[in-house]
Structure 1
Amino acid sequence: MSPSAHNTTSQIALFRRPASEVMHLERMGCSHPTRLSFLRTMLRRLRRENWKVDRPVWDVDATGSGHAVYRTRCGERTYSLVAFAHDLPEGMRSDRVIATAWDATFTLFDGEPTQADIDRLRDNVPLQEAGRISTRELTLARANRSVRLFHHVVDALSQGRQPDPAEIADIGYLMRTTAVYGSGKFGAADRSDIADRPELAAPFQVEMLTVWLIRAFTVDIVEHMAVVKGGDRAVRLDRDLRRTLGVGNSTGLGMAPFIVRHPVLLNNWMMAREEALARVRAQASATQPAIAGLRVALDAATRNANVWTSQHPVQVPKLAALRDDLRLLSKTVDTWDFDQPLPWDALWCWSTDALSFEGQEALLSIMLEPHGDLVDDLADCMAADEAPSFRIDGAMRVRYVRAILKENYGWALSIDFSTPENTARFWYVSEEKLEPRLGERANEDGATLEQPLCIARLASELDETLQDHDGEEPVAAVLLAHPEHRYMVRRVQIAQNHPFAEVHDNLIAAAMLPIDLLRCKLSFFGATRFDPRSDRWVRINLFQGAPFPDEIEQEGLQ
């Protein structure tokens, strides 16, 4: 990561938050999307490289059944979203993972599909897990209508009028995806097959491209159904109103373990964000364009917070705190002395005393927004080649392993795992759906199939074992006698060079909220309007306010 033109790396380092402050679930669960989020990275690349998007195929009948192809051209490559629309009976619509039918199903095809490809995909994509796709497909996805808003928009457009903006603001999407699979799942191309393509090198770019094109499909299908219903009276959706629509998403525990299983990737995400904040804080002065940009970003964050609703008992007070914090922040910015030395650092330091974690993490996002020239290059540092870290250095002495444990896992070694509340849960994989689940150890079977996600306990057990070994002994000798510690030794060796690799909390504790893991990851995607439906699944919105394919060349896209 390169420092800014005005500060050295050592100067910027003074402003970086330590992992001990950043990597606790209570704060991670207050994360907000930033300009480094993956959907923002993709949209900037689309505009910068002049990608071309069109819809060469629209074969949908009067019942809303059929298929469409959305073609995206970038340089010499083409990516095509193949969308299948279904006339789904009301009684079959379900967001649950056990569902077998959806309003629409999708795949992102590597290239431009032939009719034979479309025929093959028609036989498989609507079946989702029950079908099979090939390495020519990069993602597999599905979506259901937001029935009330979908019908409202169709009815209004069919009668020649625009839908109620309040209705759109209340829900924010016409369809919500219930799964977007990639990285080799169900036969799709592996991540390693495409990671060397510059346009896909950043994390989750095929997934973000898939959802962005799905968003275009959701508008096209309501306009199509409006014409079916209203004929010549029907009108298209107003462009400004269209912009307020995103794609909803229902996400559960299946996503939560990802950031635990990919410590190098998690480190790179968090480090890029923290480096960006440090660069902004390290600036000696504030320019007038940056101050103006801060106010624009603050206004946008306030509008988002005001339309963001939730009934969840955890989210309701957090949302109230965020709104209070943004009001206080707005008053403070209006009178802030931006001529003082290090004005951005001073504003940040004020926030750590005056704002809740929700407000502080929102301010992080707001402060980055007007500093694209300073921080956007960090998006190139967020991918990870995890293969080199898989190899364990067996020659490392036991005393060095224990030293790393003490320095990087002191938070874990302080936990008493003999108490029931600290071992209350266990992570396992559902046999039926092959997806992660969380069990209650005291009253559910399955703990014998526990997945190694309890990093704090594994660190504690490793440290206890190492106490019985000579400090000069190579760790390879320990692992010959105790192979169950291989996984944790590998993580310890990763942690010595990746300070943000671990979540500094007990992930099997009774008080742990999985929703915090979900929100942290989803914020890096660029999700907004987090609406937990329990502590284990959440609804969000993606691409709300973003340009559509026919707007990608407009000025002002960031």
Structure 2
Amino acid sequence: MLDDQSAPAMMPLRAPSDVMRLRRMGASFPTRLSFLRVLLRRLAGENSQVTRPVWNMCENGFGHAVYSITLGGHVYSLVAVSTDLPPDQRTDRVIATAWDSAYVLYDGVPDTQEIARIVATAPHQEASRYTESDLVLSRANKSVRLFAHAVDALRAGRQPDADLVQQTGYLMRTTAVYGNGKFGIADRDVFADRPGLGGPFMAEMLTVWLIRGFTHDLVEHVGQALLDPHLKRHLGIGNSTGLGMAPFLVSHPLLLNAWITARETALARVRAVEFLRVDQIEHLYNLMSRAAQHIAEWNVPDKIGQGRIDQIRQEWPGLTAIMTPELMSGGYPLDQLWSAAETCGIDTQECLAALMIEPFGALVDDLADAMATDQTATLNPAMTCVELGDALARDWAWALCDYADPKACHQFWYVSEAKAEPRLGLRHAEPGAELESPLDIARRVADLAADLPKTGTVAAFLAANPHHRAAVRRVQSLIAAPYSEIRDNLIGQDCLPIDMLRCKLSFFGAAKFDPKSDRWTRITLCQGAPLRDELDNADDWWLPTFAA
């Protein structure tokens, strides 16, 4: 991040009380600070090249392959294993035990012995154990209809149906991308200090982008012909994401603060641009048209999700109409546009925020350097109870409600014994509440507020009330990290976990959210992203459209 002396001008940051509500978090869109975008800019800047030293596939596309790429002076290799999966075993649910393909991102270039080890273990995923040379573990299933159709079309000498490509958007979808020490793979500390992998989820994003290229190669191999580059570019990598991802934002509050702070600072900087150049104005006009087309191409079966998309479609022309030549060539045009959007719905506002950031890489890209943090929440026992009470009154009023009300404690989070994954139960209808995970942050803070005296120190209070220790640490950490806390009751009846999923996935760079319930969604990653031989044009694929 820039130092204070050279920091750009900024408008005031949006209030955490607005930004950190679930409904707004659940309207997030990818931005140029999303991790996939940051990664591909880095690869492009280093002129990285992908090689494929191993391709051991039968004519039906079963076997293994190895892809290697250099990033930050280190070589990383994706080992991809494709298996013949019976149709009755294909499921995106976490209870699956077999998948069409499995992957390991390997530290270096694996030799024959290491390839054999990964080929033998990766298809078993959680049932196997891995080594510190294995950085990321993943698996994916085919989009059966599109993959089979694409193969048949290519073998018949034609390209896949464009409408079907547009509707589906991927040949395979991942059902997990594991990092940070799971099942014996490398802890993040192994590579966090390496150039290019220091940012959040960089190893995982590199894995996803390489998997996407493998799916292209596989369908071309089985189809015995090449895909049209336009169709190929539109074929990203799908993903099915459920409750397992949701608690991450709660258990990593300071990391969440870093992400949101970067995005909000970017928005504040571009709103403070006094005058736009002609090329920036033109870019903004083009992005408004692109966003309109992207949203027109985005349709989902979910009625609530489709209703929100329809609202953006209805409101977008009004925003476009505001962008007259007079406004755009006058003073502070983006701040005026942002003010005008206050009458629009939350989804439209968040799409506009992402769009406004997009043309200003030179102004905002440095913020990506501060999106990883090694900060941890700490306890300050010397704080007085009066000071802690002031913080509660200032930052936590939203949490201080009556949790004896069944609606306020409607749900409980727990970890599945069978799959070691987070789950959500209904407190008054299902057993297991005694196994509740500590995601009831608001209730814990409310209990703290009820017991906190008006005299003495935090140290003395906790000596008598040690069960409040976690809540005290949480409140104190929020004082210096205003975007660290989701300001909604996560066990209340109105909590929709999908809002947490979308927030996190948007920072990955996901688009085309396709909610299947309030607890899981499908998305598309890397759609419109440069192919591995197109990294010289790695920075103009925000909200891609099929209509080229």
TM-score, structure 1 normalization:
0.94
Offset at 1:434?
0.6
* Counterpart in the other structure of 1:2: 2
CA distance in 2 between counterparts of 1:36 and 1:554 reads 17
How does 1:129-148 map onto structure 2 within 5 Å?
A: 129-148=126-145
**Per-residue displacement from partner, 1:117-171 (whole Å, max 9, x unpaired)?**
1111122111000011111111110000000100111011111111111110010
Q: Secondary structure at the match of 1:338?
A: helix
Q: Is 2:390 the partner of 1:377?
A: no
Offset at 1:74?
2.4
Q: Select 1:244's aligned residue among 234, 237, 245.
A: 234
How does 1:22-101 map onto structure 2 within 5 Å?
A: 22-101=19-98
Offset at 1:341?
2.3
Q: Is 2:188 the partner of 1:202?
A: no
Q: Select 2:114's aligned residue among 112, 117, 121.
A: 117
Q: Is 2:323 the partner of 1:333?
A: yes
Q: Is 2:380 the partner of 1:405?
A: no
Q: Select 2:176's aligned residue among 172, 179, 182.
A: 179
Query: Moved runs in structure 1, 4+ residues, more than 3 A?
Result: 554-558
* Counterpart in the other structure of 1:448: 434
Q: Select 2:410's aligned residue among 417, 424, 427.
A: 424
Q: Contact 1:51–1:75 (CA<8 Å) still a contact in 2?
A: no
Q: Is 2:390 the partner of 1:393?
A: no
Q: Is 2:309 the partner of 1:319?
A: yes
Stretch of structure 1 that moved more, 546-555 or 115-124:
546-555
**Per-residue displacement from partner, 1:497-547 (whole Å, max 9, x unpaired)?**
000010111111111111111111111111000000000000000000001
Q: Contact 1:154–1:222 (CA<8 Å) still a contact in 2?
A: yes
CA-atom RMSD, angstroms? 1.6
Q: Is 2:15 the partner of 1:18?
A: yes
CA distance in 2 between counterparts of 1:530 and 1:32 reads 10
**Per-residue displacement from partner, 1:187-229 (whole Å, max 9, x unpaired)?**
11111221111211110001100000000010111111112xx
TM-score, structure 2 normalization:
0.96
How does 1:430-441 map onto structure 2 within 5 Å?
A: 430-441=416-427
Identity in percent: 50
Structure 2: state its 5+ residue gaps. 542-548
CA distance in 1 between counterparts of 2:153 and 2:39 reads 33
Offset at 1:296?
1.9
CA distance in 2 between counterparts of 1:8 and 1:42 reads 24
Offset at 1:68?
0.3
Stretch of structure 1 that moved more, 419-428 or 326-335:
326-335
Q: Select 2:246's aligned residue among 248, 252, 256.
A: 256
CA distance in 2 between counterparts of 1:294 and 1:75 reads 32
* Counterpart in the other structure of 2:544: none
Offset at 1:4?
9.6
CA distance in 2 between counterparts of 1:71 and 1:109 reads 9
CA distance in 2 between counterparts of 1:152 and 1:312 reads 25
* Counterpart in the other structure of 1:352: 342
Offset at 1:332?
2.5
* Counterpart in the other structure of 1:531: 514
Offset at 1:295?
1.6
**Per-residue displacement from partner, 1:327-374 (whole Å, max 9, x unpaired)?**
222233255612332111010000012x11010000001101111111
* Counterpart in the other structure of 1:497: 480
Stretch of structure 1 that moved more, 343-352 or 190-199:
190-199
Offset at 1:386?
3.0
CA distance in 2 between counterparts of 1:477 and 1:83 reads 57
Distance 1:75 1:270, change over 3 A: closer
* Corresponding letter in the other structure for 1:411: W
* Counterpart in the other structure of 2:292: 302
CA distance in 2 between counterparts of 1:486 and 1:555 reads 47
Distance 1:458 1:324, change over 3 A: same
CA distance in 2 between counterparts of 1:470 and 1:351 reads 43
CA distance in 1 between counterparts of 2:104 and 2:23 reads 36
Q: Secondary structure at the match of 1:431?
A: coil
Q: Contact 1:107–1:138 (CA<8 Å) still a contact in 2?
A: yes
Q: Contact 1:4–1:279 (CA<8 Å) still a contact in 2?
A: no
Structure 1: state its 5+ residue gaps. 228-234
* Corresponding letter in the other structure for 1:314: I
Q: Contact 1:50–1:74 (CA<8 Å) still a contact in 2?
A: no
